[in-house]
Amino acid sequence: MEYYLSDKEFMHAAIQGKYLTAEQVARCKQSQKNAPKHKDKMLHELALYHNLMSVEQLDRLYKETRKKNKALAIGNYEIKSILGEGGLGVVYLAKQLSMKRNVALKVLYRKWVQDEEFRKRFLLEARIVGKLSHTNLIQVFDIGYDKGHYYFSMEYVPGSTLEQIINKDDYIPLEKAMDHTLQLLDALNYIWKKNLVHRDIKPSNIIINKEQIAKLGDFGFVKSKMDEQLVQNDDFVLGTPDYMSPEQAMGKNDLDYRSDIYSLGATFYHMITGSAPYDGSESVIIRQHIKAAIPSPLSIRGSIPPGVCQIIEKMMAKEPQDRYQSYENLKRDLVLVKEGSSPKAERLDINKSTIARQDFFGLPAQIYKLEEEIKRLKYREIYYQILIVILCSTLVIILLLAG
């Protein structure tokens, strides 16, 4: 049996196990049938999407099904449970049968298998990360294809993501947060030397193990100068709005390590305050990354030292040239503040940022211009509808008069 349940098997198992009612299953099927964006989704994905089931419940359903049937497997791996889901695929806890060890197995979503762009992106992630080896990076072991599914196996790291820790404890104590940030900075410096930019640094992509070692994973959005020819169109992914740099938010393709510094700063901010720098809808957050000064961490948690705020302000400067320009200088300031000294970085003035002072109509991403264009199209549609009504009414009057 393959690692997933078909829609028919899922319906039977979910109803029989009383995870879903027949009405809830019908709702998922209706959504799958009528909503264009859901037509390629499996029923279990829609159950999660509509909050009818939790990942934990789906995990339990898989386990129960495996006991009743033969083990769920793909390639040389026996699936044990679901660890999480990302933009490109689902990650399972699996046992590598040949090595008799637990691994994290990332499997490309079925809906993306036939999409060349996403398939290339998935394989690019495996190929690039497979060449990396660092204490603070999740190691890739193997890549393969089986029964119509692309997958790669990775180091399994027992622990919790930063996101899970923050959700549980509200925030991360400053000393721990600085330790995590320094470790992540070491990992990023390693990949920057390989001409790579991660582009999706965020709490959910960082695992902290029992020894308090931070591990950065999920290179699905990685930007490689060596592999630009593999993925020709980068416009379909940007990263996560809560942590993306202004240049990333504006759709620029020539990102460098300073974009990662911004995202690391936003992640550091979230760790010590318990909340992301900006709040609102995705479009609002994107605009704020481009134009708005970050709320001072002190306004959220008054015990945060001013030196830490100063470091975050520089990491999250709107202009790349105003951020830290080297790994060494950023690490120097983090260590200084950790030891109770002041950072050497100069304070920044948001009003001096040329990005922040740009008129939105001139932005490469053309956020406001796009919104205005949509409004114009709507008004044009309304205008044509009114015009048609007037013409039809006029025609009816003419016919009546002629009769």
Specify whether 306 is located in the same domain as 383.
no
Specify whether 80 is located in the same domain as 223.
no
Q: Which domain holds residue 140?
A: 7-155
* Helix, strand, coil percentages for the chain (3-state, nearest 5): 50, 15, 35
Which of 134, 155, 176 is the endpoint of a domain?
155
Specify whether 223 is located in the same domain as 295.
yes
223 by Cβ neighbours in 10 Å (0-12 / 13-18 / 19+) ranks as: buried
What are the start-end ranges of the E strands in 125-264? 140-146, 149-155, 159-161, 196-197, 206-209, 214-216, 223-224
Eight-class DSSP state of 238: -
Please write the tens of the pLDDT for every residue from 309-328.
999 999 999 999 999 999 99
Specify whether 174 is located in the same domain as 300.
yes
Helix or strand run (H / E) with residue 358: none
Specify whether 199 is located in the same domain as 120.
no
Specify whether 25 is located in the same domain as 146.
yes
Write down the pLDDT at residue 373.
45
Among 113-117, 212-216, 381-385, which is the least confidently predicted range?
381-385
Q: Evaluate if residue 43 carries a pLDDT over 80.
A: yes
Specify whether 31 is located in the same domain as 149.
yes
Q: Evaluate if residue 223 carries a pLDDT over 60.
A: no
Residue 1 falls inside a structural domain: no
Active site residues: 200
Mean pLDDT of 290-319: 95
> Tell me, what CATH number does 21's domain have?
3.30.200.20
Please write the tens of the pLDDT for every residue from 242-278.
999 999 999 888 899 999 999 999 999 999 999 999 9
**pLDDT-derived band at 222, boundaries 50, 70, 90:** low
**pLDDT-derived band at 231, boundaries 50, 70, 90:** very low
Mean pLDDT of 64-91: 76
Residue 2 falls inside a structural domain: no
> Tell me, what CATH number does 342's domain have?
1.10.510.10
Specify whether 256 is located in the same domain as 305.
yes
Specify whether 59 is located in the same domain as 25.
yes
Q: d(Cα 250, Cα 232) in Å, to the nearest integer?
A: 18
